[in-house]
Amino acid sequence: MYVSGLSLQNWKNFRKVDVKLRRRMFLAGPNASGKSNFLDVFRFLRDIVKAGGGLQQAVQDRGGLSKIRCLAARQEPDIEIEVHLSDTELSGAVPVWKYAIGIKQQTRGHRQPYLSFERIWYRGERILNRPDDSDRQDDLRLTQTHLEQISANEKFRAISNFFNSVSYLHLVPQLVRNPEAFSGSNIAGDPYGRNFLERVARTTEKTRRARLRKIEQALVKAVPQLKHLTDIKDEAGIPHLEAVYEHWRPRGAKQREDQFSDGTLRLIAFFWSLMESDNLLLMEEPELSLNAAIVKLLPSIIHRFQKKKTRQVILSTHSAELLDDKGIDGSEVLVLTPAVEGTEIKVASDIEEVRLLLEGGFTIAEAVLPRTEPKAMQQGFLFDV
Ligand SMILES: Nc1ncnc2c1ncn2[C@@H]1O[C@H](COP(=O)(O)OP(=O)(O)OP(=O)(O)O)[C@@H](O)[C@H]1O
Ligand SMILES: [Mg+2]
Please indicate whether residue 334, judged by its CB atom, sits closer than 6 Å to ligand 1: no
Residue-wise pLDDT for 309-334, tens only, equals 678 999 999 999 999 999 999 999 99
- Rounded-to-integer distance, Cα 157 and Cα 149, Å: 10
Select from 146, 168, 147 the least CA-distant residue to 40. Answer: 168
- Rounded-to-integer distance, Cα 121 and Cα 125, Å: 5
Q: Which atom of ligand 1 is nearest to the CA of 38?
A: 18
Which residues sit opposite 103 in a β-bridge?
Answer: 79, 115
Residue-wise pLDDT for 196-255, tens only, equals 888 888 899 999 999 999 999 988 888 888 889 999 999 998 889 999 988 777 777 899
Overall average pLDDT of the 149-165 stretch: 95
- Assess if residue 262 is contained within a domain: no
Q: Place 308 in a pLDDT band, splitting at 50, 70 and 90.
A: low
Q: Place 268 in a pLDDT band, splitting at 50, 70 and 90.
A: very high
Residue-wise pLDDT for 89-103, tens only, equals 887 889 999 999 999
Please indicate whether residue 331, judged by its CB atom, sits closer than 6 Å to ligand 1: no
Question: What single string gives the DSSP state of each residue in 15-28?
Answer: EEEEEE--SEEEEE
- Assess if residue 299 is contained within a domain: no
The SS3 assignment for 336 reads strand
Q: How far is the CA of 342 from the centre of ligand 1 (A)?
A: 10
- Assess if residue 306 is contained within a domain: no
Nearest protein Cα to ligand 1, atom 24: 31
Q: How far is the CA of 344 from the centre of ligand 1 (A)?
A: 13
Q: Place 110 in a pLDDT band, splitting at 50, 70 and 90.
A: confident
- Assess if residue 277 is contained within a domain: no
The SS3 assignment for 226 reads strand
- Assess if residue 199 is contained within a domain: no
Question: What single string gives the DSSP state of each residue in 261-296?
Answer: -HHHHHHHHHHHHHHH-SSEEEEE-TTTT--HHHHT
Q: What is the pLDDT of residue 18?
A: 98
Please indicate whether residue 32, judged by its CB atom, sits closer than 6 Å to ligand 1: yes
- Assess if residue 102 is contained within a domain: yes
From the CA of 10, which ligand is nearest?
1
Q: Which atom of ligand 1 is nearest to the CA of 11?
A: 1
From 10, 16, 26, 33, the mutation candidate for ligand 1 (largest count of ligand atoms within 8 A of CB) is 33
- Assess if residue 339 is contained within a domain: yes
Q: Which atom of ligand 1 is nearest to the CA of 318?
A: 25
- Rounded-to-integer distance, Cα 328 and Cα 322, Å: 10
The proportion of the chain whose per-residue pLDDT surpasses 90, expressed as a percent, equals 68
Q: Let me know how long the chain is.
A: 385
Please indicate whether residue 35, judged by its CB atom, sits closer than 6 Å to ligand 1: yes
Total number of domains in the chain:
1
Q: How far is the CA of 32 from the centre of ligand 1 (A)?
A: 4
* List of E strands, the chain: 2-11, 14-20, 24-28, 79-86, 97-105, 113-122, 125-130, 167-169, 226-233, 239-245, 253-256, 280-284, 312-317, 333-337, 344-347
Please indicate whether residue 37, judged by its CB atom, sits closer than 6 Å to ligand 1: yes
CB of 163 within 8 A of CB of 201? no
Q: What is the pLDDT of residue 364?
A: 97
Residue 365 sits in which domain range?
2-166+326-378
Q: How far is the CA of 35 from the centre of ligand 2 (A)?
A: 5
Q: How far is the CA of 349 from the centre of ligand 1 (A)?
A: 24
- Assess if residue 67 is contained within a domain: yes
Nearest protein Cα to ligand 1, atom 4: 13
Nearest protein Cα to ligand 1, atom 7: 12
